[in-house]
């Protein structure tokens, strides 16, 4: 479930839109996000940092909770 490096996220051309979107969570109609990308792209790090800042939770795969909890929690 992601790398062990929770250092600062480097924002660049490849992730700037995602970071901008995640910074405006208060405007979301539904407070959920799905981060996708190839292995090593930083999606787990971005998810953990975002969850830490917002009090959210990272669901990393099907073993992270029941379908009821994941989709209707």
The two tokens of residue 59 are: 């669901």
CA distance 29 to 44: 23
Q: Is the pTM of this model over 0.75?
A: no
> Per-residue pLDDT tens for 16-72?
888 888 888 888 887 788 888 888 888 888 888 888 888 888 887 767 777 777 666
pLDDT, greater one: 9 or 27: 27
Q: What is the pLDDT of residue 6?
A: 60
Q: How far apart are CA 24 and CA 58, in angstroms?
A: 18
58's tokens: 């990272």
Tokens for 37? 């990308």
3-20 average pLDDT score: 75
Three-state DSSP class for residue 41: coil
């Amino acid at each position: 479930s992601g790398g062990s490096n929770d250092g600062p996220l480097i924002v660049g051309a490849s992730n700037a839109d995602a970071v901008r979107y995640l910074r405006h969570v208060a405007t979301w109609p539904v407070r959920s996000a799905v981060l996708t990308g190839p292995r090593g792209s930083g999606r787990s790090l971005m998810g953990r940092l975002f969850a830490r800042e917002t009090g959210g939770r990272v669901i990393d795969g099907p073993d992270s909770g029941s379908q009821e909890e994941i989709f209707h929690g």
